[in-house]
Structure 1
Amino acid sequence: MSTPLVTDDLAAGPADQVLTLAEAARRADGVAPLSEHTLLRVRHGAPSGSSRFHVIAEDGRIVGFAFVERIEGEPDSGEVVVDPPHRGRGHGTALLRSVHRDAGPNGVRVWAHGRTPQAVSVAEGDGWRAVRELHKMRMPLRDITGGERGGPASATELPEVRLRPEVAERVRLRAFVVGQDEQAWLDANARAFAHHPEQGRLTLDDLLQREVEDWFDPHGFFLATTKDGRVAAFHWTKVHADGAGLTDGEPVGEVYVVGVDPAWRGTGLGRALTLEGLRHLRDAGLPWVHLYVDGDNEAAVRLYTSLGFDIWDTDVMYAPPEGGSRDVGNT
């Protein structure tokens, strides 16, 4: 079992190796081991003091990697990946123990994306326990007759987008404008996700990094804006060119994030904007759309189920054993 190197910065060479490792694991497991946020931190670096990178190398090549984001007042949030040919050698356990030892004052939690047997075995074998679930839900946008990992399925009928008259008088639906709407959207996102540390604390740098990604399309980023320029609600869609595990390479859509300002909740804007984005993805000819939703967010699960989504898979977040020593594995 190797001892990981822990750093708050990755040079360009190691960063490229991590990206290659993550892609190899995605192909082998059928699910991406690292989130988009982590991949952006690997590519572009992280603000000082915000992140930690844990690396295991053999013969000058990275074969194991963990990333941890530190959020003030919350447990660290981490992800772990091991190169498929190098699994079964204790690298996953070594990385889990490393992030545990290095955790901030509120401890650490680690995601197992797709709940793969290998990840579950490593986490539970070392005494970690599941503390949160993130459901992946999917919906067909056209008739699927077979040959795709998600099919067969019949297209879901999408109703017209209609705002209540009293709401339509106060807002208009439009697409995001690059160079104009960044700050208004960040303010709305912070209000909508004030109690969601991962989403609610996105910065301008985080947004700008996403704007230069190949997948970014402002025409699929919908806002409900007031007359004074505030964003009351939004739906940001995304297209995955690789199929996101639902197809063998045909692009699919994602409900990337839907947010509603607390002052506008109960007005129907969330549902209306969700439909606006779904119709946009359907009209683009995509076969599937998927999304992520917290397992304990019953209202959101009901909303998406009513629109035609069903649960496809689940990511699980693990926490270390209660009362466990951070020195475990040092011997």
Structure 2
Amino acid sequence: MSTPLVTDDLASGLADQVLALSESARRADGVAPLSEHTLLRVRHGAPSGSSRFHVVTEDGRVVGFAFVERVPGEPDSGEVVVGPEYRDRGHGTALLRSVDRDAGPRGVRVWAHGRTPQAVSVAEGDGWTAVRSLYKMRMPLRDIAADEAGGPWTAPELPEPALRPDVAAAVRVREFVVGQDEEAWLAANALAFADHPEQGQLTLDDLLQREVEDWFDPRGFFLATTKEGKVAAFHWTKTHADGAGLTDGEPVGEVYAVGVAPSWQGSGLGRALTLAGLRHLRDAGLPWVHLYVDGDNEAAVRLYESLGFGMWDTDVMYAPPATGDRRPPA
């Protein structure tokens, strides 16, 4: 069982290998093992004290990797990947134990994206238990004949977004303007996701990094703004050029982030902006749209189901066993 290198500053040579390792695992497993946020941290680095990188190497080559984000007042949040050709050598277990030993005062939790059998086996085999679920839902944007995903799929109707008269008089729905709306959006995002350990922590640097990504398109980033210039609600869409596991390379859409400021909840803005974004993705000719939603967010799940989304997959977050309860290595 290898001993990982633990660092808060990932050298560029290692970063390139981690990106290649993640892509290799994505192709083998059909699901990305590292989130977009983690990949951006690997590529651009992380603010001092905010993150930890755990790296396993064999003969100078990166064969396993874990990333952990420090979240104030919350358990650390981590992800782990082991190269397909280097599995069943104890690297996954070594990485899990490394992030556990290195955890902050509230401990650590680690995601298993897509619940792949390998990831579940490693986590549960070391005594880790599931503590949180993130549902992945999908919806066709056009009628799709039967394929390897099942079907046939019939696209639901997407009505024109409509606001109550009082809401329509108080806000304007428009596209995000780069260089103008960053601070207002960050304020609204922090309020809307105050209890969310990942989304609610986004900084200006995080937003600017996403603005230079190939997929970023302000025409698919919808804001409802007040006369005072505050963001009351938003829907940020994303296009995945690689198909995101839904197609064989044809681009698909994502409901990337939908948020409503607390003072505007119950106004209907969330549903209206969600529809605006879905119609934008449909009109762009994309065949599918997907999204992620916390499993315990029943109101959001019901909203998405009412629009035509169905369950697709689930990511599971695992917590380590109590000291002394760990199972012996296989």
Same fold (TM over 0.5): yes
Which amino acid in the other structure matches residue 42 of structure 1?
Answer: V
User: 2:321 & 2:2 partners in 1: Cα distance?
Assistant: 22
Once the two structures are superposed, residues 199-223 of structure 1 have per-residue CA deviations (whole angstroms, 9 ceiling, x without a partner) of 1111100000000000000000000
- For the 8 Å contact 1:94–1:329, the answer to whether it is kept is no
The residue aligned with 1:176 is: 176
- For the 8 Å contact 2:127–2:325, the answer to whether it is kept is no
SS in 1 for 2:250: coil
- For the 8 Å contact 2:128–2:320, the answer to whether it is kept is yes
Displacement of 1:195 in angstroms is: 1.0
What pairs with 1:175-254 in structure 2 (closer than 5 Å)? 175-254=175-254
The residue aligned with 1:269 is: 269
SS in 2 for 1:263: helix
What pairs with 1:128-167 in structure 2 (closer than 5 Å)? 128-147=128-147, 149=149, 151-167=151-167
Which amino acid in the other structure matches residue 197 of structure 1?
Answer: P
Structure 2: state its 5+ residue gaps: none
User: 2:290 & 2:71 partners in 1: Cα distance?
Assistant: 27
- With over 3 angstroms needed to count, the CA separation of the structure-2 counterparts of 1:148 and 1:234, relative to structure 1, is farther
Which amino acid in the other structure matches residue 185 of structure 2?
Answer: W
User: 2:268 & 2:176 partners in 1: Cα distance?
Assistant: 20
Pairing 1:280–2:276 present:
no
SS in 2 for 1:68: strand
Pairing 1:102–2:91 present:
no
Displacement of 1:325 in angstroms is: 7.4
Displacement of 1:329 in angstroms is: 8.6
- With over 3 angstroms needed to count, the CA separation of the structure-2 counterparts of 1:150 and 1:177, relative to structure 1, is farther
The residue aligned with 1:54 is: 54
Once the two structures are superposed, residues 239-278 of structure 1 have per-residue CA deviations (whole angstroms, 9 ceiling, x without a partner) of 0001001111100000000000000000000000000000
Once the two structures are superposed, residues 6-42 of structure 1 have per-residue CA deviations (whole angstroms, 9 ceiling, x without a partner) of 0001111110000000000000000000000000000
User: 2:312 & 2:232 partners in 1: Cα distance?
Assistant: 30
User: 1:123 & 1:197 partners in 2: Cα distance?
Assistant: 22
Pairing 1:2–2:17 present:
no
- RMSD of aligned Cα (Å): 1.4
The residue aligned with 1:290 is: 290
With normalisation by structure 1, the TM-score equals 0.97
With normalisation by structure 2, the TM-score equals 0.97
- For the 8 Å contact 1:149–1:248, the answer to whether it is kept is no
Displacement of 1:324 in angstroms is: 4.3
User: 1:151 & 1:51 partners in 2: Cα distance?
Assistant: 42
Once the two structures are superposed, residues 24-62 of structure 1 have per-residue CA deviations (whole angstroms, 9 ceiling, x without a partner) of 000000000000000000000000000000000011110
Which amino acid in the other structure matches residue 25 of structure 2?
Answer: A
Pairing 1:28–2:28 present:
yes
Structure 1: state its 5+ residue gaps: none
SS in 1 for 2:198: helix
The residue aligned with 1:76 is: 76
- For the 8 Å contact 1:148–1:246, the answer to whether it is kept is no
